[in-house]
Amino acid sequence: MTVSIQFLLLTVLALVGCVIVFVTIYTRLRHQYDALVSSYRDLERLNSDLRAQRHDYLNHLQVVYGLMELEEYDELKTYLAPIYKGMMKTGKALKTKNPAVNALLRAKMEEAESKGIDFYVEVTSDLSGLKAEPWELCKVLANLMDNAITALEAIPSEKKLRVDIGEDRDSYRFSVANNGPAIPEELQESIFREGFTTKKESGHGMGLSIVTQVLKTYKGTISLSSTEEETVFRIRIPKSNQK
């Protein structure tokens, strides 16, 4: 009888273990699937924007040519200003060789613009040697940009969000900065812990534990500096860990 009970308990424990493993794998795969779907939608949106731009070029050229013939140079300048601004935004979002990152930048530009946020992008690396999975890199950047947008929504004054992507001899560098409310110094260490939430702090910190977990895979690091003028999250992914 004792042996049968022990066997039954071991069987139950084994089944519970299998269920836990299954749920863990399912959760991980679900997160990957959601991230891939999000990247795919961003790519579709970027492709749609590019097709629309190409379609509009001929119409714009006709208008430009007509205004030049009429010597309406002030009108021409006014007409070209928003077109040039839109082209520059799309161009800056296409500087990397990672289509998913390009699409994400474009999508966040549009979101920020719709909320009255000035979005600045500076890309000095095409990320061609970065071996991080595109969906994981997008998850990291999206979390940081979402936090910045949420933080900026809380201020009535001029809103600025800046994303820098570059590299040096040893690592790939990413930074996301905004001029929203400062993160209190006493929270700056705990903000990266799993389960930490800062809903009372204007959005800063949401999802940062996810960012930290992804970066660990690539031996990457994240640091924070926050003052009344600017909050900046900086990421470094060492090239020595690129396979």
Q: How long, in residues, is the chain? A: 243
Give the three-state DSSP class for 184: coil
Question: Any idea what the Cα angle at residue 234 is, between residues 228 and 191, rounded to 5°?
Answer: 65
pLDDT of residue 179: 94
Residue 189 in tokens = 């260490």
CATH label, 2-241, candidates 3.30.70.240, 3.30.360.10, 3.30.565.10, 3.40.1010.10? 3.30.565.10
pTM: 0.66
For 76-126, the pLDDT digits (tens) are 778 777 776 666 665 565 678 888 888 888 888 888 988 999 888 888 888
3-state secondary structure of 225: strand
State the virtual CA torsion across 102, 105, 111, 116 in degrees, nearest 10.
-130
Dump pLDDT digits (tens) for 209-243: 888 988 999 999 999 999 989 999 999 999 986 55
Evaluate if residue 163 carries a pLDDT over 90: yes
With 60 as the cut, is the pLDDT of residue 202 above it?
no
Query: Average per-residue pLDDT in the chain?
Result: 79
CB atoms within 10 A of CB 152: 25
Residue pLDDT, tens place only, 30-66: 666 565 666 666 666 666 665 665 666 677 777 777 7
Query: What pLDDT is stored for residue 173 in this prediction?
Result: 95
Q: Supply the DSSP symbol for 221.
A: E
